[in-house]
Chain A
Amino acid sequence: MTFIFLFLILAVIIGGFSVYAILTTKKAKANGYETWLMKFYAKDSVKTIISSVTAILLGLLVGCLFLIMFVGSEMSGRSISGFDLIDALQLIFFGGFNTGRNEFGSLIYGWNGVSLGNMLFRATPLILTGLSVGVAYKTGLFNIGAPGQYLMGTAAALIVSLTIPSDVIPPFIIWIIAFLSAIIAGALWASIVGLFKAFLNVNEVITCIMTNWIAAILVTSLFDKTTGPFNFLLDPSGDKNYKFVYKTAHNGVETIKLGLDKLFPGSQINAGIIVAILIAILMFIIINKTTFGYSLKSCGSNKHAAQYAGINSKLYITLSMAIAGGLAAAGAALYYLSGNTEFTWSTYQSLPAIGFNGIPVALLASCNPIGIIFSASFMAYLDISGLQIRNMTMYNEYISSIVSALIVYFSAFALIFKQILSGKIKLFRKKKEDISNAVDTRFKEEDYNVDKKEETDSKEVETTEEGGTE
């Protein structure tokens, strides 16, 4: 009930606002001045945000259609019912706020510390892999090597944080050393790609793919149960059976909570999210406000022009990849240094999904570092919603992956959206009219001329009348 009520309030607010916007704009246009809304709308960044939000809404809408399509289909003996559909439709939007069911079996909503805290915890590495892809993209490089850099960061962080004895050096210092060494490992690993691109002109996509798999195999060989040099870091206890590396809490290294666990009780959240946000802001400043960032961007938009302007493009391409690698590895460090996450060492057959998910995060935010904070949180929120859908209904959690893929698909149309928003493309002009426009325009011109004639006629009449009264 509250759910429908909320929707109604939202609809009234949006409706009221749009009526207000249309009326004021009309009045302003007629009288030749600009309202604050028009000024706001004229900004390019606003249009970018609007087109991203449109992509999100379209993705959610098509995702809902998917849910509706599969009502009634049999699944392991039980068919998906209309109730499942209603619940799933709610959860896809408000899954993070679901707190279970009441005694009548309908969903109730409220502050769900576990879901929301876990959402922020999942968003932490996503922000950084998103930044990794985004920063490289600004320099004209498509970094699909984030999974490999992420793995190298993971290995470095785990090895450093678990081997330094915590009774000699305080855990907080170990945490910082591990974090930094992860960044260095990732940066060095990614600079291979950068060097290949800068000096040998090898397409970065192919080197990224190759280094991803090499990283996966290398990391596996480091922790191999029998032959790996770091196999003493594997957890031998009962059911773990050497499948995982020790949690860093084994050595007393844990990310501080800063009281966030009070706000989100029962969740995995820690101060890592704050570090991630700070790094994002730092990247925003570096890219948009410094000469260094300007050089990076200019290498991306036109390498030759940058070279001509005295920028060492080879250096900047390598540096850009190194930064991207460092960021992805920092994400890994924040995730695994939290103290309660386990790393499956046998990873040579699969790459970490968090690395690849950096790509949609960056693309949805059109590679803006501040936007990436929000898009990463949103993607993590969708994940949580998916889990809720799996737990509460007959659908499965992959619907949220479908929705996020659709959102990325629609955000590819950002350029078109923006052109429509700024009026460069008219939505309701079909191609067929273009073909027959020779005839159409003639008619229109005639119509127009007739109108004009009538106008002039009436004016003449008016003037004569006026003359008459004189």
Chain B
Amino acid sequence: MAFFIQQTLVFMIPLMIVALAGTFSERSGVINLALEGIMIFGAFIGVLFIKIISDAGLGQDHAQLLLIIGILAAMIGGGIFSLLLAVSAINLKADQTIGGTALNLLAPALVMFLIIIITGSNTINTPASLDFMLYRGDFGIAEGKELNLFEQIFMNKVYLSNWYALGLYVILSVILYFTKFGLRLRSCGEHPQAADSVGINVNKMRYIGVTISGTLAGLGGFLFALTAAGGASTGDVAGMGFLALAVMIFGNWNPLTIAGAAFVFGACKCIASGYQYIDINGDGIYALANLGISKYVYMILPYAITLIILAFTSKNSHAPKAEGQPFDHGQR
């Protein structure tokens, strides 16, 4: 059970945070197709910073501090990279799908170009001597003690970065839905002319939306590189950005349902990747493995279930009305 939840979180948290990134951008009225690209770039910048600092001989004993530096670097990197989208979509009124696609192409190319120049090989890794994972000993739990479920999930083999991300998710969701700023941001995605008429600077709001989106997607990419890819950046995040886009649409552009959608998807994905090891009630019988179903059925499961749920829920789907349309003062 604990294994199941922890594995689910590995998929769920990056998906959630990147889907929220998409939400911020689209709620402000800019379609952010570039999530995948920004994730790749953020992952690269985060890993690069950790590598540079630890290569300089600093922070070898402070892995958790380095982790925070990596997170911040990834967020700033993602934010800066997303400005390329913001400029094209807001100032130059370019087609937002094309701009996003261009960034998706640019990020892996740029990252691979730089990685090969920096390392001479196809990957860049965080130093092997650094272990960002926290074990039971770090929480002061004695070796040999039986762990309860809470301790198994939260106090053994965890990455603190996941909990930072979860905290950020909650805070930003509250900001988006319960503050003046959040209301203004959302109004720019629904009816920018109305927002403009009451004195909201639509372009500024959209810049903020896209930049927040970029920072979050950068963070998501770094989380992916750290947890799922084992601290490596290879110019690829396994389609996670596109999946997050799907989770965002699936979650109806709403943080609460996005979390639910990400959980469903993460759980299915976890079953797919580790169904042989899942022991649901802890009696030592691996029920799923004994069913004798092909592993490919499990692998298709997350995607198929998403499609089926979408088929039933899509009638209630509410995309932000003004997304994808450049803001024009003159329109009504």
Q: Tell me the smallest distance from the CB of A196 to a CB of chain B, in Å.
A: 7
**Minimal Cβ-Cβ distance residue in A for B99:** A412
CA distance A200 to B294 in the complex (A): 30
Q: Are B239 and A203 in contact (CB under 8 A)?
A: no
Stretch at the interface among B130-138, B148-156, B279-287, B312-320: B312-320
Q: Tell me the smallest distance from the CB of B130 to a CB of chain A, in Å.
A: 23
Q: Tell me the smallest distance from the CB of A453 to a CB of chain B, in Å.
A: 36
B113 at the interface (CB under 8 A from A): yes
Residues on B with C-beta less than 8 A from A398 are: 109-110, 112-113, 116
- Which positions 400-415 of chain A face chain B at CB distance < 8 Å? 401-402, 404-406, 408-409, 411-415
Q: Are B294 and A363 in contact (CB under 8 A)?
A: no
Q: Tell me the smallest distance from the CB of A424 to a CB of chain B, in Å.
A: 12
CA distance A221 to B294 in the complex (A): 9
CA distance A202 to B296 in the complex (A): 25
Q: Tell me the smallest distance from the CB of B156 to a CB of chain A, in Å.
A: 29
Residues on A with C-beta less than 8 A from B103 are: 405, 409
Interface string of A375-405 (1 = CB under 8 A from B): 0000000000000000000011011011011
Q: Tell me the smallest distance from the CB of A149 to a CB of chain B, in Å.
A: 15
Q: Are B296 and A209 in contact (CB under 8 A)?
A: no
- Which positions 221-245 of chain B face chain A at CB distance < 8 Å? 238-239, 242-243, 245
A65 at the interface (CB under 8 A from B): no
Which size bracket describes the interface of A in this complex?
Answer: 35 or more
Interface string of B317-330 (1 = CB under 8 A from A): 10100000000000
Q: Are B299 and A203 in contact (CB under 8 A)?
A: no
B56 at the interface (CB under 8 A from A): no
Given A75-B120, A213-B303, A415-B95, A360 and B109 touching (CB < 8 A)? no
Partner of A409, one of B93, B106, B245, B246: B106
**Minimal Cβ-Cβ distance residue in A for B91:** A416
Interface string of A402-437 (1 = CB under 8 A from B): 101110110111111000000000000000000000
A-B contact count (CB 8 A): 138
Q: Tell me the smallest distance from the CB of A271 to a CB of chain B, in Å.
A: 30
Interface string of A164-208 (1 = CB under 8 A from B): 000000000000000000000000000000001000111101110
Q: Tell me the smallest distance from the CB of A31 to a CB of chain B, in Å.
A: 37
B198 at the interface (CB under 8 A from A): no
Q: Are A210 and B306 in contact (CB under 8 A)?
A: yes
Q: Tell me the smallest distance from the CB of B81 to a CB of chain A, in Å.
A: 12
CA distance A144 to B304 in the complex (A): 18
B38 at the interface (CB under 8 A from A): no
Q: Are A209 and B242 in contact (CB under 8 A)?
A: yes
Q: Are B108 and A401 in contact (CB under 8 A)?
A: yes
Partner of B314, one of A200, A220, A359: A200
B300 at the interface (CB under 8 A from A): yes
Q: Are B311 and A196 in contact (CB under 8 A)?
A: yes
CA distance A396 to B294 in the complex (A): 41
**Minimal Cβ-Cβ distance residue in B for A137:** B97
Q: Are A206 and B245 in contact (CB under 8 A)?
A: yes
Q: Are B243 and A209 in contact (CB under 8 A)?
A: yes
CA distance A412 to B105 in the complex (A): 13
Given A201-B314, A221-B296, A209 and B98 touching (CB < 8 A)? no
**Minimal Cβ-Cβ distance residue in B for A80:** B117
Residues on A with C-beta less than 8 A from B304 are: 210, 214
B160 at the interface (CB under 8 A from A): no
B84 at the interface (CB under 8 A from A): yes
- Between B33, B94, B118, the greatest number of chain A beta carbons within 10 A of the residue's beta carbon is seen for B94
Q: Are B294 and A408 in contact (CB under 8 A)?
A: no
Given A210-B303, A360-B101, A415-B95, A405 and B117 touching (CB < 8 A)? no
Q: Tell me the smallest distance from the CB of B258 to a CB of chain A, in Å.
A: 13
- Between A212, A227, A408, the greatest number of chain B beta carbons within 10 A of the residue's beta carbon is seen for A408
Q: Are B88 and A206 in contact (CB under 8 A)?
A: no
Given A75-B120, A209-B243, A398-B112, A404 and B98 touching (CB < 8 A)? no
Q: Are B106 and A75 in contact (CB under 8 A)?
A: no
Partner of A413, one of B94, B245, B300, B303: B94
**Minimal Cβ-Cβ distance residue in B for A357:** B105
Q: Tell me the smallest distance from the CB of B189 to a CB of chain A, in Å.
A: 16
A230 at the interface (CB under 8 A from B): no
B307 at the interface (CB under 8 A from A): yes
Q: Which residues of A contact B (CB under 8 A)?
A: 66, 70, 73, 75-76, 80, 142, 144, 196, 200-203, 205-207, 209-214, 217-218, 220-221, 224, 227, 348-349, 351, 359-360, 363, 395-396, 398-399, 401-402, 404-406, 408-409, 411-416
Provide a sorted-by-A list of 17 A–B residue pairs whose CB atoms are within 8 angstroms.
A75-B118, A205-B246, A209-B243, A210-B306, A211-B307, A212-B239, A217-B303, A218-B296, A221-B294, A396-B117, A398-B112, A405-B103, A405-B105, A405-B106, A405-B110, A409-B88, A412-B102
